[in-house]
Amino acid sequence: HEPEKDLLDFEECSRNITVEEKKEYFVLYERRKGDYHNLSENWGDFIDRYREFITPDTLFLDVTYDDPSIVTVENCLYDVCMTVDREDPRLQLQKTAAVGITSRVQSETLPNTMVIPGGKFAVYRYKGYPQLIYKAYQSVFSNWLSETGNRIDNRISYDIYRRIDEDCYMEIDIC
């Protein structure tokens, strides 16, 4: 990981951060455990598996739960997610009238869904390559957050992928 002296200072972070009211996102997701460097491979598998749910309005998100400077990389927990229509019949529950049992329609192996809560978030607009994203995270949490006096609450943080090029250049909203 990058040495702390290479972190972006408060002013540099502030130029890339806005405080925004984010809506909640209903997402289809898969939970993974392991090195965050495997995200690109996991994304390819995830998109192939759930391609039929992708629409022009779909957003791709990830939720990372662990800091790899604290947790061993093979134990880092994360979710790869995509927004889906909450009313999609392939995701709906139905009551079986005769038994009163709630079950998912047409499949025993439907994907997991969850709601990523909305609310006020600091949003860091990251533009760059994956190998430098850790520096951005550490800069936000170590420098910007501590200097503003803001605190992390109990909601999950997440990333929204806005652009990924073939050369791996990416634009991500870190929320």
Percentage with pLDDT > 90 across the chain: 39
Q: Which of 24, 27, 29, 28 is nearest to 117 (CA)?
A: 24
What residues form DSSP beta bridges with 141?
A: none
Its pTM stands at 0.80
Q: What digits encode the pLDDT tens for the residues 21-68?
A: 999 999 999 998 888 777 777 888 899 999 999 999 999 999 988 878
28 token code pair: 């289809």
Three-state helix/strand/coil letters over 60-116: EEEEECCCCCCCCHHHCEEEEEEECCCCCHHHCEEEECCCCEEEECCCCCCCEEEEE
Instruction: Tell me if 28 sits within 8 A of 91, measured CB to CB.
Output: yes
